[in-house]
Chains A and B, each alone.
Chain A
Amino acid sequence: MDMMNQYKEETSQIHAPADLIQRTKQAVQEEERRIQQKCVQQTAQTAGGRQTTWDAGRQTADWRTMEKPERHDDSADRPRRRNYSKVYKWALPAAAAIFIVVLINASTMIIGRKFSASQSDTSMDLAAGMAGGAEESGAYDLAPVEVTEEAAQADTDGGIDKSFADSGFAEDSVAEAEESVAAADEEALDEMYDEGATVEAPAAAAEHDSVDSAENKSNISEGGAGELTIQEVEEKPEFCDNKNTRCIDSHGLQFYVAREWGNQWKAYVCIDETGYVITGSGQGIADREAFAQKAYELLTETVDGIE
């Protein structure tokens, strides 16, 4: 406690110098003037020019209570901002939904293409009428490339390989094979048939059955003109609309000539509103024109009024 009292006594002897106090008061007055000038400038800038008073004895609160600069009213911006946030809220889910729909469509397209490709595979085989040991090689159910591989291994001749190599089907897809078949000329088709490719063709068989159906069947002759048979039909058979069916004009008659598996030929002609289907086979028939000629010869032999 003595020390504490001594400290107090010693400290109490310390006073602020008079010159320091004087200098400080001058600095304070300068500061007050500066603030006053600042207030005047601010009031002059504000609208209305509010008059401020300055109390020398006491700094009034005028500049303290002075109105602050008006804040920019951004209330008009708030609804816009709210709308933007609303837009963003549903934009993302909508974008996600659109993306999902696009994905689904793309996947269905891909699946559909594959499905149609597989269908065209079978139809291509039917249209081409490939001959061969389909049951042995199992090529009926395979794509052309696979047929090639299977046929090479199976106990069949290598004609399939050659045929594919010649026609360029080895590397082509099923759709391309179908197009190439459609675009190929008759000679290329004949070469394929000559190679002996055998593929069971249920559709062709169905057509054959349709030709042989009871409605249309009316055998006129068999074995005429070599191995040709002629049948009278009431309706135009379906094979006339096949892709490999060609319309051959022979002796003024229009023959719809189609080649089936093996060396089987078939032709349809309408004479005096009567339809005739001529079927035949033989190595001597080179092309459709030849078969049309033979069919015509058969007609002249069997049907009256045709010369």
Chain B
Amino acid sequence: MTKEERITTEAAIDRYADMVYRLALSQMKNKTDADDLFQEVFVRLVSHIQDLESWEHVKAWLIRVTINCAKKHFDQYWNKNVDYIEEPERISDDSGGYEMPEEHPVRAAVQKLPPKYRLVIHLYYFEERTVAEIAQLTDQKESTVKSQMHRAREMLKDFIGDEW
């Protein structure tokens, strides 16, 4: 990463596509919704890119907007009351194949958590954000984030066992 690299939307896509996609997957119920969320986030970035001064700023902005868009999606009546009946989630990897849940048991267990627990787990363990940063990104108190993480761990223990 060089400072001379100009901050553009396309450059942001190249840089943070995987991050946004993983976060979108952790929030949405299915892949299709995750794809829509991914696209929506970067389209929104077009009108705000000039306000962002650094790549860290861009990254934080992308995480925050992804969370907000996911929340907005869940607040809609249709999404509140409609559940999808579909095959197990298939995620593409570099080879183009699909990932089965049994290949990623921990991730499958995390996907069973409620969206807000999934989020804190993902941001804490994968994005390696601090509790303060997570609180700021999710617009919550630090105590709330801590309690959510505690509950998420408890639930994962039930899913996976005491190894978590």
The reply to whether B163 and A2 contact each other, CB–CB distance below 8 Å, is: yes
Among B69-77, B79-87, B102-110, B139-147, the one that faces the other chain is: B102-110
The B57-98 residues at the A interface (CB cut-off 8 A) are 91-94
Contacts of B21 in A (CB 8 A): 14-17, 20
Verify A14–B46 contact, CB threshold 8 A.
no
Choose one: A2, A15, A28; the contact of B46 (CB below 8 Å): A28
A1-42 vs B, CB cutoff 8 Å, 1 = contact: the mask equals 011101110111111110011011101100110010000000
Give the distance in Å from the alpha carbon of A25 to the alpha carbon of B15 in the complex.
13
Query: CA A4 – CA B7 in complex, angstroms?
Result: 32
Q: Which residues of A contact B18 (CB under 8 A)?
A: 14-16
A27 engages B42 (CB within 8 Å):
yes
Point out the residues of chain B lying under 8 angstroms from A16, CB to CB: 17-18, 20-21, 38
Judge whether A68 is part of the interface by a CB distance below 8 angstroms. Answer: no
A290 close to B (CB within 8 Å):
no
Contact A35 B47 (CB under 8 A): yes
Q: Indicate if B2 sits at the interface (CB-CB under 8 A).
A: no
Q: A3-B164, A57-B6 are in contact. Are A11 and B22 (CB under 8 A)?
A: yes
Nearest residue (CB) in A for B6 is: A58
Q: Verify if A60 is at the interface (C-beta below 8 Å from B).
A: yes
| Interface size range of chain A in the complex | 20 to 34
Residues of A contacting B: mostly: helix
Q: In the bound complex, do residue B6 and residue A24 qualify as a contact, i.e. CB atoms below 8 Å apart?
A: no
| A25-B110 Cα distance, complex, nearest whole Å | 30
Interchain pairs with CB closer than 8 A, number:
96
Q: Is the CB of A17 within 8 A of B43?
A: no
* Bound form: Cα–Cα A8–B43 in Å: 28
Asked if B46 contacts A31 (CB within 8 A), the reply is: yes
Q: Is the CB of A31 within 8 A of B13?
A: no
Select which of B9, B25, B50, B164 is within 8 A of A64 by beta carbon: B50
Q: Which of B2-49 contact A (CB under 8 A)?
A: 6-10, 13, 17-18, 20-22, 25, 35, 38-39, 42-43, 45-47, 49
Binding site for A on B (CB under 8 A): 6-10, 13, 17-18, 20-22, 25, 35, 38-39, 42-43, 45-47, 49-50, 91-94, 99, 104, 106-107, 110, 121-122, 125-126, 156, 160, 163-164
Jot down 26 A-B pairs with beta carbons below 8 A, ordered by A. Answer: A2-B163, A4-B125, A7-B107, A7-B121, A8-B125, A11-B22, A11-B107, A13-B93, A14-B22, A14-B25, A14-B91, A16-B21, A16-B38, A20-B38, A24-B13, A24-B38, A24-B39, A24-B43, A25-B10, A28-B13, A28-B42, A31-B46, A57-B8, A58-B7, A58-B8, A59-B9
Q: Which 5 A-B pairs have the closest CB atoms?
A: A16-B21, A10-B104, A16-B17, A10-B107, A31-B46
Known contacts A15-B93, A59-B46; 12 additional CB pairs below 8 A are A2-B163, A3-B156, A10-B107, A11-B122, A14-B21, A15-B17, A15-B94, A16-B18, A16-B38, A28-B45, A31-B43, A32-B9
